Structure 1
Amino acid sequence: MILVDGVPILAESDSSSPSQVVEILAALMDHPSLLSASHLFKSTPERGFSISEESGLGSSTQPKCVYVFQSEYATVDPAFVDVAGTDEATTCVGLVIRNRSNGKISIAHLDSPAVVEMGLAQMLSQTSDPNLQDEMDVHLIGGFEDASLKRTNRSDAEIHGKMDGYSLPLCIKLIETLWRRREKFHIQTFFVLGHNTRRDADGHAYPIITGFLVETSNGSVLPACFDRTSRCPDEVVRRIRITAHSDDPTWTGGLLETYHTQDDKFIIAPCYWSRRQLHIASTLQHLSDSQLLLNCSTSPHAEGPDFVDNLRRQFDYIIKHPHWSETFPKRQPRVFERNGQGGWRRCRD
């Protein structure tokens, strides 16, 4: 169930159909309270976030942060974590769910409609009580207008089939999944699609905001960007998992889990990259920057300045470590715990 200002959002039509979901999405885009929240969110200064991964750097205590990459999710307890966040989203959508009763927050970086249902179930399994009808505050941020929402009179067959763009199908699937579940989802921020779109002189569309953070003490959400030191721990290995997990026979779908809520630790499960991944890395590493953008991005015009560099560092790692067992000896996970300053350090055997 989806609510705004405590009132359920319903479609005009009575039939349960995909077109009804599009009506609900359009209603959310035009809702006065959500429009006001979008204007406020857009006008809020972006917070730059930096944190040291090494325990020996600096003496002051830093905010305890949990960062999630594309295809990942994490559920955090305010008792252990000050800030949770993500960035680098173009056609992806960030989802925040906060349980009003226990204060637990789950954050995800969703990149495909295919992972939405299982991903939401993963998030709710750690935040909700199955014996209660939980009240959840929800924030959706990301994606941009790479396809139009105005054609709401399309047939159900069209909606079930291939749609233009990446952001719109993802948003439709998100709304459909939230709407059909039993929990009460109170939408607080709906900064997606047209609300998150700017255009240059040539008409190219870009997202206005590509990242955000959540302050766990009160659930407030702010625009944010993270530098390389704060996209930790195990940045490169976790980036590789995003592309390699599709070849991993142990992966069962859904979102990748790396953070363990109860222990406040990152536990990076073994990731099995194949010879195909090595071949892909070796081939792509020889492409020019512009070719890499065209081959590896869903939105080449909209990527951040370090997109290509991040790709090349992943390719370098796979080429230097062609066998996954070098990274995960004896098939053991890579475990990280808090250091004395709020960052992360690797636990050694």
Structure 2
Amino acid sequence: MIYVGGVPFLNENSSSSLSSSSQESNLLLDVMSHPAIISASDSFKNLEERKVSFGERDTESSTKDRYVYVFQREFAVVNPALVDFVGTDEATTCVGLVIRNRKSGITSIAHIDSPKVVDLGISQMLPLVLEDDENAEFDVHMVGGYEDVDIKNANDCDYAEPEGYSFPLCCKLVETLQKRRENFHIQTLFILGHNTKLDAQANTCPIFNGCLMNTSTGSIFPASFNRTSRCPDEIVRRVRVSASFEDSSWKGKLLDTYDTKTDRFIIAPCCWTMRLVEYVWELNQLPDEEILANCSTSPSAEGPDFIDNERRIWNYLLTYPEWSKTFPRRQPHVFKRIANGSWKKC
């Protein structure tokens, strides 16, 4: 069940005569219009975006903040005794979801890109955050997603086959939390209209593409990361996102990344086929504007490094077409944290 402003949220506009998708739409729009959510969105919008850049790390004896970053379709659960900050970015039609145990501070973060991974994904995120406490209370934050289609008349629309991406995903997230037995206090819902602006060409785009949470205090901020801070194993983790669509073992799931108890990144293996390699070879021949049109859910809203990141993924797959070269004997990539807060491969 979800709570807003400290009380259970009851969707007064729901009706048994409405379709499931219409009920989800009503619930989402009602929550977004709640005064507490509007106030929180206004406050979040006025925060300065944190720009996370590791640059050159100091010597191993220095003390640095300890970060965990998740890419698209990844999740991680962290202990504030071991991790200072968790974050994600590069979200346009995706949503960064943060669930934090109010008592222990144990925090789960995910970068969710499709309604198809919401049910299993949230089930993956929760066990370590629950800590076997059936009465645990959770703070929930969502950042990302924007008005990539007109949703003003959403109640009159059939979203079974939506033209857009953000709205169905946000509907599914809120509805799934509402249906679960755990107690979720929605603190930040910076999505859709709350997270939409116009660019110089009058295209809608997100105000913020990412978030960063202080695990000790539970404070959340808009954030962006540079290439050095999207670590460790950046390219392989990006490749896994593409490969996971072919790998049946990841169907409907979020990608494993991190071991909570040992503070290690354990990049679970993922396999890919020659069909994917052949496909990315074809994509790599396309001009930039066609790459945007073919590979993005939001061509007018992508960041300046989107195409470069896509080509780096494709070049990796073309260089290492056999997945077993990346994950010999199907073993994960393991990284341990060193004294300066960065990561070293084991």
Match of 1:216 in 2: 215
CA–CA distance in 2 between the matches of 1:292 and 1:246?
A: 19
Q: Provide the residue aligned with 2:338 in structure 1.
A: 339
Which of 12, 28, 31 does residue 28 from structure 1 map onto? 31
**Contact residue 28 and residue 34 of structure 1 kept, 8 A:** yes
Give the C-alpha shift of residue 59 in structure 1. Answer: 6.0
Identity rate, percent:
54
Q: CA RMSD, aligned part only?
A: 1.8
Aligned match of 1:239: 238
More off after superposition, 140-149 vs 247-256: 247-256
Query: Once the 2 structures are TM-superposed, how far is the Cα of residue 292 of structure 1 from its aligned partner?
Result: 0.9
Mapped to 1, the partners of 2:62 and 2:44 lie a distance apart of: 30
Q: Is the 2:149–2:164 Cα contact (8 Å) retained in structure 1?
A: yes
What are the Cα deviations for residues 54-87 of structure 1, in whole angstroms up to 9, with x where unaligned?
A: 8776763221100000000100000100000000
The 5-angstrom pairing of residues 1-349 of structure 1 reads: 1-13=1-13, 15-16=15-16, 18=20, 19-51=22-54, 60-154=62-156, 158-159=158-159, 161-347=160-346
Following TM superposition, by how much is the alpha carbon of 1:332 offset from its aligned partner in structure 2, in angstroms? 1.5
* Residue pair 1:178, 1:185 contacting (<8 A) in 2 also: yes
Matched-pair contact (CA < 8 Å) for 1:12–1:23: no
1:40 CA displacement: 1.1
Asked whether the 8 Å contact 2:2–2:8 carries over to 1, the reply is yes
Compute the displacement of 1:152 (Å).
Answer: 4.3
Deviations 1:255-304 (A, max 9, x none): 11111101111111222111011101211111111111111000011000
Q: Which of 307-316 and 321-330 deviates more?
A: 321-330
Tell me the amino acid that sits aligned with residue 39 of structure 1. Answer: D
- In the aligned structure 2, how far is the partner of 1:32 from the partner of 1:186? 14
Moved more, 22-31 or 292-301: 22-31
Secondary structure (helix, strand or coil) at the match of 1:187 reads strand
CA contact (8 A) 1:11 1:21 kept: no
- The number of aligned residues is 343
Q: Distance in 2 between matches of 1:56 and 1:268?
A: 25
How many angstroms apart in 2 are the aligned matches of 1:192 and 1:217? 24
Task: Write the letter of the residue equivalent to 2:104.
Answer: N
Q: Report the secondary structure of 2:220's partner residue.
A: strand
Q: Give the secondary-structure state (helix, strand or coil) at the position aligned to 2:278.
A: helix
Q: Distance in 2 between matches of 1:235 and 1:25?
A: 34
Query: Which amino acid in the other structure matches residue 132 of structure 1?
Result: E
Q: CA deviation at 1:21?
A: 2.6
Give the conservation status (yes or no) of the 8 Å contact 2:60–2:339. Answer: no
Which consecutive unaligned segments of at least 5 residues does structure 2 have? Answer: none
| Mapped partners of 2:14, 2:170: distance in 1 | 21
Task: Measure, in 2, the Cα distance between the counterparts of 1:288 and 1:219.
Answer: 43
Give the residue type in structure 1 aligned to 2:6.
G
Give 3-state SS (helix, strand or coil) of 1:238's partner: helix
Query: 2:52 & 2:227 partners in 1: Cα distance?
Result: 10
Whichever residue aligns with residue 309 of structure 1, its letter is D
Shift in alpha-carbon separation, 1:212–1:88, aligned structure 2, 3 A: same
Partner Cα distance (1:253, 1:219) in 2:
29
1:91 alignment partner AA: T
CA contact (8 A) 1:51 1:62 kept: no
Counterpart code for 1:27:
D
Deviation (angstroms), 1:125: 1.5
Deviation at 1:13, TM superposition (A): 3.8
After TM superposition, give the deviation of residue 252 of structure 1 in Å.
4.0
Determine if contact 2:14/2:26 at 8 Å carries over to the other structure: no
**SS of residue in 2 equivalent to 1:246:** coil
The whole-number CA distance in structure 1 between the counterparts of 2:95 and 2:282 is: 29
**Local SS of the residue matching 2:3:** strand
Opposite residue 72 of structure 1, the aligned amino acid is E
Q: CA deviation at 1:330?
A: 2.1
* 1:55–1:199 distance in 2 versus 1, CA, 3 Å: closer
Output one character per residue of 1:228-251: Cα deviation in whole Å (capped at 9) or x when no partner. 011000000000000101212432
Q: Deviations over 1:153-181 (max 9, x none)?
A: 337xx24x212310000011011101111
- With structure 1 as the length reference, what TM-score do the two structures score? 0.94
> For each residue in 1:24-81, what CA deviation from the matched residue of structure 2 results, as whole angstroms up to 9, or x when unmatched?
21122211121111111111111111126x8776763221100000000100000100
